[in-house]
Amino acid sequence: MEEEKTFDERVIFVNRVARVVTGGRRFRFQALVVIGDHNGSVGMGISKGADVTAAINKATSVAKKNLIKLHIYKGTLTHDVEGKVSGSKVLILPAAAGTGLIAGGVVRSILEVAGVENALSKSVGSNNRINVSYATLKALQSMVPAKDWVTRADKTEKVRTS
């Protein structure tokens, strides 16, 4: 059997959802959970449950299934990234060592559990936590590792050999 990795689990928010039925309202809970290993892996899950603990447990299992691997370079991002989901837009910039995480709310939690130590971010538009978290993950997924960058010298070599 494979030993399961230990993840840092953060509950971003819990929302009470009501359904109106004959005789009153039925309440359920929706949880948004972010998990990460502080080494470049991060996942997000949203789920509903009859009570708060059930919703959090379901969201955690969804987050474990949706883990993504990030390319972190010297504790920061490899380049500027931008993600847009619905009305939420997130811009994340790399920062020099010692800057720390200058980000708010959901973006900060996601970057912390991912293991990013130095970064700047700005969230524009809707501040809906679910959309901001999706936009943050979309931005981080669009990041290209430094080893895959095409440099000017590589382009000139290809032109000469052709």
pLDDT digits (tens, 9 = 90+) for 64-74: 999 999 988 88
φ, ψ of residue 52 in degrees (nearest 5) = -60, -45
For residues 107 and 76, state if they share a domain: yes
Domain count, the chain: 2
Q: pLDDT confidence of 148, banded at 50, 70, 90?
A: confident
Looking at the fold, whether 108 and 53 belong to one and the same domain comes out as: no
Q: Is 75 helix (H, G, I), strand (E, B) or coil?
A: coil
Residue closest to 106 by CA, chosen among 33, 24, 54, 161 = 33
Q: Mean pLDDT, to the nearest integer, of 79-106?
A: 93
CATH of the domain at 90: 3.30.230.10
pTM, to two decimals: 0.84
Q: Which domain holds residue 64?
A: 8-68
Angstrom distance (rounded) from CA 32 to CA 63 = 9
122 within a domain of the structure (yes/no):
yes
Last residue of a domain, one of 31, 51, 68: 68
The pLDDT tens digits for 95-135 are 999 999 999 889 999 999 999 999 999 999 999 999 999 99
Q: What percent of the chain has pLDDT over 90?
A: 73
Q: Tell whether 89 and 140 lie within a shared domain.
A: yes
